[in-house]
A and B are shown apart, each in its own frame.
Chain A
Amino acid sequence: MSTEQQVLHRIEKVRRRKARLTDERITMAHGAGGKATQTLIDAVFLEAFRNPLLEPLADQAVFGVNGTRLAFTTDSYVVSPLFFPGGTIGDLAVNGTVNDLSVSGARPLYLSAGFILEEGFPVEDLRRIVASTAAAATAAGVAIATGDTKVVQRGKGDGCYINTAGVGVIERDVALGATQVRAGDAVIVSGPIGDHGVTIMLARGELDIVADLASDTAPLTGLIDRLFDATPSVRCLRDATRGGVATILNEIARASSLAVVLDERAVPVRRQVRGACEILGIDPLYVACEGRMVAIVDGAAADTAVRALASHPLGQGAAIIGTVRDDPPGLVLLKTQFGGTRIVDVLVGDPLPRIC
């Protein structure tokens, strides 16, 4: 083994080691979804709450009650601005939780909605948010069955935060998850990536960039039904939210001890998103989507799966973007458009905080 390989070997060992929380205060990095978030969850939350359902740290917990398999999840929404092209914080609060249930193979049934409002927040804005929340729930086929309202003093919140929790029932006989992934599987995205993140960034109006672009926020339940109708060979589904496609694929690679090799030219990215990302020096692979998923399917079923997804309005532009291999375990590689190869690592800082 060369010296360089020894160094790399040592680094991979360090990366697998459990991180210690040394920070004395919460920084923005703890909310960025990268390693700092992971460390915080491991050291503080998992340490205190530890149980077999929580331990996999999946987007949802799956458990049986009297022979019925249920999926249960929660998520909080702090997006800024509250209104943006393609949706509102209310749309995100419904679709985000619905999608966390759907990707486990569940049919989402009931949601809770907790609103934290800041003193002085216009009731008219709240009405708009609640109307879009209701419309999104209807579109997703879920009922908001319970809720809560709190008001905090001016300056102690940023207008409106929402927390939703959701419960769904898993009726299909499927076992989905990173551990189901095998070498030879195909990596598929359900449509162009990065629309939501770039839309939010531009909607903040700090960049003086204008583009014809809207958030992709949408419930994925129907799209996932279409996929399962076409093929049973689905191994793993993930909605590509915070941290984007790259972050999710890293989690899958790490959890399965397999490699994901992506082809940059195959990754669907809208012209507007690519342009904005080029200007800002951001990689679209890390930009959040709110209505796109990554599907890992048996390589033999890949074309069938893409056709099925593309036949649904939310799957326009679905594409095979890479494959799963044995080596190098735990890493995501990218064959660049230019023809070179590089690593796609977990992002450290969040280039775009408060995206959802």
Chain B
Amino acid sequence: MRFVDEFRDPEMARALAGRIAGLCEPGRHYKFMEVCGGHTHTIYKHGLEDYLPANVTLVHGPGCPVCVIPMGRVDDAIHIAEQPDVILTSFGDMMRVPGGGGSFFDSSARGADIRMVYSPLDALKIARQNPGKRVVFMAIGFETTAPSTALTVLRAAAEGIRNFSIFCNHVTIIPAIKAILDSPDLRLDGFIGPGHVSTVIGCRPYAFITRDFDKPLVVAGFEPLDILQSIYMLLTQLAQGRAEVENQYTRAVPWDGNARALEAINEVMELRPYFEWRGLGFISHSALKVRPGYAAYDAEAIFATPGVRVADPKACQCGEVLKGVLKPWECKVFGTACTPETPIGTCMVSSEGACAAYYNFGRFTRARVREAAHP
């Protein structure tokens, strides 16, 4: 298939793997964080680690939109869903995320009308088709999905649709990366930058990473060869003593981002003074809310949500996993008390979550897999 197969070519992968091995100084250990959960998914889904030398480790970052939603916000969404005449719409990934009082699936089984959608525009369509209902869209995601939420609000306003609102949980990526760099527990050699977010925000906002922290960052695409190439680019920078922002994903990411998408976000949303991230705690100016001018589309303004902060279960170490301090299997409940069927933490729920990716695809030592596949 065009635009897919050429980015999964094993011959190219082998050639790149050879060059990567050639760039690694013997005895030095390299630790790169892939910020985005989409990358984590690609890495495990294609078995990319099989191509990396033993002294290159990939650390999974916080860029999984579902993973960073705190339990209290799930409870708030369920509270909204259980109000009279409400249809809550959500991306499928959110459905199994546990809040303090169960997940969307549980609420649905109790009688709430919660529907999966693939796009906020689908939610708007449901609002159009159900004028007697109040349709709420559970808006989640980084700058990647915020523009489509914003545009949907603008469309609703233009069409005068009054029974549609969003429960805004959009977050921004830069404060999360800052929080990780400020965390004393982690020593990283560089970042594989989030590709989809960068299609919107561009590459400039990452400059502080090279300037203040002297780490290289390469914005990467989501096919396995994209990621291998970005690792190669990171190692090249390190070998040449550089720490710069580079763009591997040039076929999608303009250096200055997408001005129109940013405008749309800015028109509808503004920064919250602070927002709680699951596992990372409160981070200032790290999330978006609906501007007062669009309050008619703001579920937080329409419905009185409890807004109760729910502490993560004690056993859950999602925070450490999201920060890259713990590998998924190092969490005490990984795969035993916490599984994709009965998740305790969000990282085990989303397909972009590091724990789910590791459990579903990578749960097996690399050596044993190799042995079994190539006896």
CB neighbours of B122 from chain A (8 A): 206
- Contacts A26-B109, A35-B341, A281-B351 known; A340 to B48 CB distance under 8 Å? yes
Chain A, 152-209, CB within 8 A of any chain B CB: 206-207
Bound-state CA distance A337–B46 (Å) is 8
Interface size on A, residues (CB 8 A): 49
Scan residues 11-26 of chain A and give those whose CB is less than 8 A from a CB of chain B: 11, 14, 19, 22-23, 25-26
Q: Is B256 an interface residue (CB 8 A)?
A: no
B1 at the interface (CB under 8 A from A): yes
Find the residue from B109, B360, B373 having the highest chain A CB count within 10 A: B373
- Is B22 an interface residue when CB atoms closer than 8 A count as contact? no
Q: Please tell me if the beta carbons of A274 and B1 are within 8 angstroms of each other in the complex.
A: yes
> Is chain B's interface secondary structure helix, strand, loop, or mixed overall?
helix
- Tell me the complex Cα distance, A253–B28, Å: 40
What is the CB-to-nearest-CB distance from B1 to chain A, in angstroms, rounded to a whole number?
A: 6
Nearest CB of A to B278, in Å: 20
Between B4, B13, B335, the greatest number of chain A beta carbons within 10 A of the residue's beta carbon is seen for: B335
CB proximity of A34 to chain B, nearest CB, Å: 7
- List the one stretch of B77-85, B198-206, B242-250, B362-370 in contact with chain A: B362-370
Tell me, in angstroms, the Cα distance from A1 to B44 when the chains sit together: 23
Q: Identify which of A212-220, A287-295, A307-315, A327-335 touches chain B.
A: A327-335
Q: Fill in one digit per residue for B329-354: 1 if any A CB lies within 8 Å of its CB, else 0.
A: 11000111001111000000001000
A2–B367 Cα gap in the complex (Å)? 12
Cβ 8 A contact of B47, one of A207, A281, A339: A339
Return chain A residues, CB-CB under 8 Å to B46.
Answer: 336-338, 340, 342
A10 touches B351 (CB 8 A): no
Q: Are B106 and A27 in contact (CB under 8 A)?
A: yes
Q: Which of A317-332 contact B (CB under 8 A)?
A: 325, 327-328, 331
- The interface-forming segment of A93-101, A123-131, A133-141, A345-353 is A345-353
Q: How far is the CA of A341 from the CA of B330 in the complex (A)?
A: 22
- Enumerate chain B interface residues (CB-CB to A < 8 A): 1, 4-5, 8-10, 13-14, 44-51, 92, 95-96, 105-106, 108-110, 118, 122, 224-225, 329-330, 334-336, 339-342, 351, 359-365, 368-373, 375
The 4 closest A-B pairs by CB, nearest first: A340-B47, A11-B335, A339-B10, A25-B109
* A-B contacts besides A261-B373, A275-B1, A348-B340, 12 pairs, CB < 8 Å: A5-B365, A7-B334, A8-B335, A8-B364, A25-B110, A29-B96, A328-B364, A328-B368, A338-B225, A341-B47, A341-B50, A343-B363
